[in-house]
Amino acid sequence: MSLKEKLKKISLIILFLPLLGSNKESKNPPKYNVLFIVSDDLNCDLGAYGNQMVVSPNIDKLAERGVLFGNAHNQYPWCAPSRASFMTGLYPDQTNIKKLRVYLRQTLPKVVTIGQRFKQENYHSVRVGKIFHYHNPRDIGTAGHDDNYTWDQTVNPYGRDKVEEYKINTLSPRSYGGTLSWLAADGTDEEQTDGIGATETIKFLDKFAKSGENFFLAFGLYRPHTPYVAPKKYFDLYETNEMEIPKSSDKELETIPIPAAISIREKKNQNNLEESLAKTIKEAYYATTSFVDAQIGRVLDKLKETGLDKNTIVVFTSDHGYHLGEHGHWQKRTLFDNATRVPLIVAGPGINKNEKIMGAPVELVDIYPTLMELLDMDTPEFVSGKSFAPLLKDSNARVRESALTELGVNTGYGAKVSGYSIKTDRYRLTQWGYNGVLGFELYDHKFDKEELKNLSKVDSYKFIKDSLTKVLSKRIVEAKKQPKGLDFVTDNPQEWREPREVHSQPK
């Protein structure tokens, strides 16, 4: 071969080296994005969960695209404690957040939230709407008790539902968020706060589709949290008289520990509602659920339209469950299944489709490590949750045997009692007070999914109760462990103030 031919051959090799390199790189899997959708006060009354009355086609369709968990539970059935918990992967005893008006950095100044962890990996972290705690509806349009360190950009939508609060029907004058309130609203979806939130989320999806930037995009809805406000067309989906209100009796209170009885009679003006009023309120909740479903559908449609669905993991959940008259109770703050159980659906590339896992217990604190595993990121050592990523590919896998939930109940005279509850694939065991000094509850879901028959003193269930008590005791100890690498701030946390951004818009 002549020198000229050799030089020509070398030139061709050099010319094709970049192409060879790009082919090699194309074999590497692309970095996944995350769309994190969180509803407020949404229970499992959805079509995908077996409720044929509720119109929720978009959430149902998402379930067909991924894995639905039927035994998922929050760690504290109240807004702020639950949200701080799942955004950090820590239990409420570790975050030290068990009330509403607390900023995350007041108790855990060094914590790295899910959004922060994505920022560390050069993802764009965005929040639209409510992720950390906001008083609803009072804080709509503000930054509420948000954590600025979690996000690169934030949007706080403010809609017609906030402007027209004076039209809302309520059981307590001038009180909307803390009591049962409702309104069949005039106008369009896009005029409502959550409709505006969906529109802003769609804009971000368009932006990321064009830029190719990796993202952690959190879309937090304010509904169906009371006041149940939705355009009239969603109320037209339901017939008031077809609403079924669970029957309850005060005799049940005699069979459960005093703190449990207090929890389901917490709001005096919501006890023993007249049936026609109860039906009106339940219809409003379902109508608002359908409105929420429609906004989620708009976002998911845009995700598919942009092609981002091929490279985006979608997580959909709620901060806690919700009572609609079960045990004679409305709203949250109990340790019954109605308040602890949440919808949880995960869909995306590499995840099983149309899979329902009804038995395996999972917790909301598990979302953090699950996302880390799915995206091949290191989970911070302080995180207490366990990744349920194996279940997304194998429905027979198990990562935990029980799901733990805690609740503090004010028993009067300033005394607060802590209750802890575990849910296995079949049983629920709840203890009140230290080592159950104030009593236990035991329910067998094989025969009693409504948790109406307390078996804690039934002889034939003694072995089950004793065994589960040991499990619960161990879980409580684990949930109280000092997180590695983090310092608690428990003295005068009110002296710490996180900057607030009011009526923020995309930066």
| In the predicted structure, residue 22 carries a pLDDT above the cut 50 | no
- DSSP codes joined into one string, 446-504: TT-TT--S--TT-GGGHHHHHHHHHHHHHHHHHHTSPPTT-----SSGGG------TT-
Evaluate whether residue 101 is within a structural domain. yes
CB 350 within 8 A of CB 68: no
CB 38 within 8 A of CB 218: yes
pTM (whole model) above 0.85? yes
Express each pLDDT in 176-221 by its tens digit.
Answer: 989 999 999 999 999 999 999 999 999 999 999 999 999 999 999 9
Residues belonging to the chain? 507
Name the band, by pLDDT with cuts 50, 70 and 90, for residue 1: low
| In the predicted structure, residue 261 carries a pLDDT above the cut 80 | yes
- 61-89 in b/e burial notation, b at 16+ Cβ within 10 A? bbbebbbbbbbbbbbbbbbbbbbbbbbbb
- Mean pLDDT score, 100-105: 95
**CA–CA gap between residue 85 and residue 97 (Å, rounded):** 8
**CA–CA gap between residue 25 and residue 18 (Å, rounded):** 10
Evaluate whether residue 436 is within a structural domain. no
Structure tokens at 480: 């109280």
Give pLDDT, residue 17.
43
Residue predicted with more confidence, 302 or 503: 302
Evaluate whether residue 284 is within a structural domain. yes
Name the band, by pLDDT with cuts 50, 70 and 90, for residue 52: very high
Q: Tell me 331's DSSP state.
A: E
**CA–CA gap between residue 507 and residue 499 (Å, rounded):** 16
Backbone angles phi, psi at 69, to 5 degrees: -105, 120
Evaluate whether residue 13 is within a structural domain. no
Name the band, by pLDDT with cuts 50, 70 and 90, for residue 271: confident
Evaluate whether residue 476 is within a structural domain. no
Going through 240-373 in order, the beta strands assigned E by DSSP cover 312-318, 323-324, 330-331, 344-347, 355-357, 362-363
Of all residues in the chain, what percent carry a pLDDT higher than 90?
A: 85
Give pLDDT, residue 4.
54
- Mean pLDDT score, 14-18: 44
Give pLDDT, residue 265.
95
| In the predicted structure, residue 6 carries a pLDDT above the cut 90 | no
| CA-closest candidate to residue 88, choices 105, 67, 68 | 105
Going through 87-146 in order, the beta strands assigned E by DSSP cover 124-129
Give pLDDT, residue 200.
98
Give pLDDT, residue 9.
58
Q: Tell me 372's DSSP state.
A: H
| In the predicted structure, residue 454 carries a pLDDT above the cut 90 | yes
CB 35 within 8 A of CB 314: yes
Evaluate whether residue 174 is within a structural domain. yes
* Greatest mean pLDDT range, 11-25, 116-130, 412-426: 116-130
| In the predicted structure, residue 95 carries a pLDDT above the cut 80 | yes
69: left (phi over 0), alpha (psi -120 to 50) or beta: beta
Give pLDDT, residue 411.
87
Express each pLDDT in 142-153 by its tens digit.
Answer: 999 999 999 999
Structure tokens at 448: 């009693």
| CATH number of the CATH domain containing 118 | 3.40.720.10
| In the predicted structure, residue 29 carries a pLDDT above the cut 90 | no
**CA–CA gap between residue 185 and residue 378 (Å, rounded):** 46
Q: What Cα–Cα distance (Å) separates residue 90 from each residue in 16, 80, 264, 379, 483? A: 51, 13, 27, 12, 8
Name the band, by pLDDT with cuts 50, 70 and 90, for residue 174: confident
Containing structural domain, residue 378: 33-403
Evaluate whether residue 361 is within a structural domain. yes
Name the band, by pLDDT with cuts 50, 70 and 90, for residue 28: low
| In the predicted structure, residue 279 carries a pLDDT above the cut 70 | yes
Express each pLDDT in 394-447 by its tens digit.
Answer: 999 999 999 999 999 998 767 889 999 999 999 999 999 999 999 999 999 999
**CA–CA gap between residue 296 and residue 77 (Å, rounded):** 23
Evaluate whether residue 507 is within a structural domain. no
Give pLDDT, residue 502.
33
Express each pLDDT in 225-251 by its tens digit.
Answer: 999 999 999 999 999 999 999 998 899
Going through 188-255 in order, the beta strands assigned E by DSSP cover 215-224, 228-231
Spacing of C-alpha 439 from chain mean position: 29
Strand-pair category, 215-224 with 124-129: parallel
**CA–CA gap between residue 390 and residue 371 (Å, rounded):** 12
**CA–CA gap between residue 288 and residue 184 (Å, rounded):** 9
**CA–CA gap between residue 405 and residue 75 (Å, rounded):** 4
Q: Could you identify the residue written with the tokens 């708009």? A: 298
Name the band, by pLDDT with cuts 50, 70 and 90, for residue 476: very high
Query: What's the total number of domains in the chain?
Result: 1
| In the predicted structure, residue 292 carries a pLDDT above the cut 70 | yes
Give pLDDT, residue 412.
79
Backbone angles phi, psi at 466, to 5 degrees: -60, -40
Q: Could you identify the residue written with the tokens 């949007």? A: 155
